[in-house]
Amino acid sequence: MDGLTPVTQRAPGRWQIATVTSIREQTAGVKSFRLGLPMWMPHCPGQHYDVRLTAPDGYRAQRSYSVASSPLDEGEIELTVDRLADGEVSPYFHDVLKEGDQLEVRGPFASYFVWHGEQPALLIGGGSGVVPLIAMLSHRRRTMPELGMRLVYSVRSAEDVIHADELGDEALLTFTREPPAGWSGPAGRIDAALIEAALAQGGDRWDPASVTAFICGSTGFVEAASGLALEAGVEPGRIRTERFGPSG
Amino acid sequence: MNDFVSRGFAGRPREPEELAERIPPGQHLERDFPVLTAGPTPEVGTEPGEWSLRIDGMVAEEREWSWEELGTLDFEDVPCDIHCVTSWSKLDTSFRGVPLDPLLEAVEPLAAYAMVYSHGGYTTNLMIEDLTDGQAWIVTEHEGEPLARDHGGPARLLVPHLYFWKSAKWVAGLRVMDHDEPGFWEGNGYHNRGDPWKEERYWTD
């Protein structure tokens, strides 16, 4: 890791009451919520926060959401939330929360699916699984753009792309359902050719054995993508995965 | 902070009391069986020579059981509720397997701690007292079917009274130790013991 630690990790915080400072719509079913935290601490890209909702009768619902923003955004975090039709917490985010509302959160948590400056880093995201990878990408861009980091992003259609403004030249997209008109790039499910294209991007081919892979998405996506990374020669011990199960 | 109420939050219809009291704090009911693994899913076979369970370390006698030998032991059904630290709980599920008690009796642990290790490199630490007295099993079936590979098949540890990361998938063995050491998640921010009823999720809980 060459001593490169973009942020030091500290003990995660207690429950605190955040304030929604802005909401932006990413796609029809995905919104990003910027929260101001009274007891903010820098997170490592890839970490998550727990969110807890409390009803007047004391009933509570709790879920975890990855942070999409860079820890350089002092005092704030951004959570990107996919609205699940039969969910309990994500519909609250989408249908109820407004700017100025308060939200109980604690974090940041977990130190495994976390980017500490490892390079070269191959990020592979499916759907909203790209969120923690966006935090890695934007943090690296703002702190150490010279570090090798590339993203493979599998998404249904152009309308489903989230955090589009944070995707730079290092992002390789594949459209699984409907490529945009005139698109000549990859289409269909992620495959060995796409992994190879990412490894060889810009004519600077990475030795797969040197690569640390961060893979996030649905269980099926992660199984497929980690299998492809293994076949491409990435060491099993350097493949970190995070599966987005149904959580609501 | 305890009197904080989320504006406009009603929540799902409440579960009936007999179910609600079986769901630990901060958990919600899940009817599927989600998969959570830190890395790629290992391929572990059960052909002769491919699978074994080993108990070693500070024991009177180290032992290893092959898949065939495991199959000759007494299996039992384990109806249970399981609780994942990512906040879902699954009630009234069932596994089938071999209780850990006779396996541990066969090796005679001489110390109080264990590190469970898996194919693929996963580890998790438990106290021997959390693995004995009918609290832990090596299971090979889930709800009447062979345990699926992505849920730890062919065999996983089952310790339903602790958060489910303690129930190591693709279990390969258990090392008895005279001191406690954090396993994989325990070294990555999660609680050392992980009792869902005390909501022991993270280091600071």
Distance CA B38, CA A237 (A): 10
CB A107 within 8 A of CB A49: yes
Q: Give residue B35's pLDDT band: very low, low, confident or very high (50, 70, 90).
A: confident
Q: Which chain A residues in 216-235 lie under 8 Å from chain B, judged by CB atoms?
A: 219, 223, 226-227, 229-230
Q: Give residue A14's pLDDT band: very low, low, confident or very high (50, 70, 90).
A: confident
With an 8 Å Cβ cutoff, are B4 and A17 in contact? yes
Residue A166 has pLDDT above 70, yes or no: yes
CB B67 within 8 A of CB B171: no
Q: Give residue A5's pLDDT band: very low, low, confident or very high (50, 70, 90).
A: very low
Q: Give residue B15's pLDDT band: very low, low, confident or very high (50, 70, 90).
A: confident
| Preceding omega of B34 cis (within 30 degrees of 0) | no
What is the nearest CA distance from B190 to chain A, expressed in angstroms?
A: 7
Give the pLDDT confidence of B17-31 residue by residue, as tens digits: 889 899 999 999 988
Mean pLDDT over each residue of chain A, to the nearest integer: 91
With an 8 Å Cβ cutoff, are A236 and B120 in contact? yes
Tell me what pLDDT residue A2 has. 40
The candidate with the shortest Cα–Cα distance to A65, out of A22, A124, A107, is A107
**Interface pTM (ipTM) of the complex?**
0.84
Tell me what pLDDT residue B99 has. 98
Residue A193 has pLDDT above 80, yes or no: yes
With an 8 Å Cβ cutoff, are B121 and A237 in contact? yes
Report the residue from B10, B12, B40 with minimal CB separation from A239: B40
Distance CA A81, CA A30 (A): 6
Report the residue from A53, A92, A110 with minimal CB separation from B189: A110
Tell me what pLDDT residue B170 has. 96
Distance CA A165, CA A183 (A): 18
**pLDDT > 70: what percent of chain A?**
93
Amino acid A40 reads: W
Tell me what pLDDT residue B31 has. 82
Q: Give residue B193's pLDDT band: very low, low, confident or very high (50, 70, 90).
A: very high
Chain A residues within an 8 Å CB radius of B188: 110-112
Q: Where are the beta strands (DSSP E) in chain B?
A: 28-29, 52-57, 63-66, 76-83, 88-99, 113-118, 123-127, 137-142, 145-146, 156-158, 171-177
Residue A248 has pLDDT above 90, yes or no: no
Mean pLDDT over each residue of chain B, to the nearest integer: 94
Give the pLDDT confidence of A228-237 residue by residue, as tens digits: 999 999 999 9
Tell me what pLDDT residue B189 has. 85
**pLDDT > 90: what percent of chain A?**
84
What is the nearest CA distance from A109 to chain B, expressed in angstroms?
A: 7
What is the nearest CA distance from B44 to chain A, expressed in angstroms?
A: 15
The candidate with the shortest Cα–Cα distance to A176, out of A167, A163, A184, A186, is A186
Residue A6 has pLDDT above 50, yes or no: no
More confident site: A10 or A163: A163
Q: Which chain B residues in 131-190 lie under 8 Å from chain A, judged by CB atoms?
A: 150, 184-185, 188-190
How does DSSP classify residue B69?
H
More confident site: B113 or A181: B113
Q: How far lies B9's CA from each of A22, A35, B146, in Å?
A: 19, 18, 41
Low-confidence winner among A60-64, A242-246, B182-186, B198-202 (lowest mean pLDDT): A242-246
With an 8 Å Cβ cutoff, are A111 and B34 in contact? no
**pLDDT > 70: what percent of chain B?**
99
With an 8 Å Cβ cutoff, are A219 and B1 in contact? no
Give the pLDDT confidence of B38-86 residue by residue, as tens digits: 888 888 999 988 999 999 999 999 999 999 999 999 999 999 999 999 8
| Preceding omega of B154 cis (within 30 degrees of 0) | yes
Q: Looking at residues A84-96, what average pLDDT do you find? A: 93
Tell me what pLDDT residue A68 has. 96
More confident site: A4 or B58: B58
Residue B143 has pLDDT above 50, yes or no: yes
Q: Which chain A residues in 58-87 lie under 8 Å from chain B, judged by CB atoms?
A: 59-64
Tell me what pLDDT residue A244 has. 76
Q: Give residue A245's pLDDT band: very low, low, confident or very high (50, 70, 90).
A: low
Alpha helices, DSSP H, located in B29-99:
67-71
Tell me what pLDDT residue A12 has. 62
- SS3 string, chain A, reads CCCCCCCCCCCCCCCEEEEEEEEEEEECCEEEEEEECCCCCCCCCCCEEEEEEECCCCCEEEEEEEECCCCCCCCEEEEEEECCCCCCCHHHHHHCCCCCCEEEEEEEECCCCCCCCCCCEEEEEEHHHHHHHHHHHHHHHHHCCCCCEEEEEEEEEHHHCCCHHHCCCCEEEEEEEECCCCCCCCECCCCHHHHHHHHCHHHCCCCHHHCEEEEEECHHHHHHHHHHHHHHCCCHHHEEEEECCCCC
Tell me what pLDDT residue B33 has. 79
Tell me what pLDDT residue B205 has. 86
Tell me what pLDDT residue A110 has. 79
Distance CA A65, CA A33 (A): 11
Q: How far is CA A22 from the centre of its chain?
A: 19
Q: Give residue B2's pLDDT band: very low, low, confident or very high (50, 70, 90).
A: low
| Residue reference for tokens 């919520």 | A33
CB contact, 8 Å: A102 with chain B? yes
Distance CA B201, CA B190 (A): 6
Amino acid A222 reads: V
DSSP B74-89: PPEEEEEEEE-TTSEE
With an 8 Å Cβ cutoff, are B40 and A55 in contact? no
Give the pLDDT confidence of B155-168 residue by residue, as tens digits: 999 999 999 999 99
Does residue B139 sit in helix, strand or coil?
A: strand
Chain A residues within an 8 Å CB radius of B190: 110
Give the pLDDT confidence of A95-125 residue by residue, as tens digits: 999 999 999 999 998 778 999 999 999 999 9
Tell me what pLDDT residue B3 has. 86
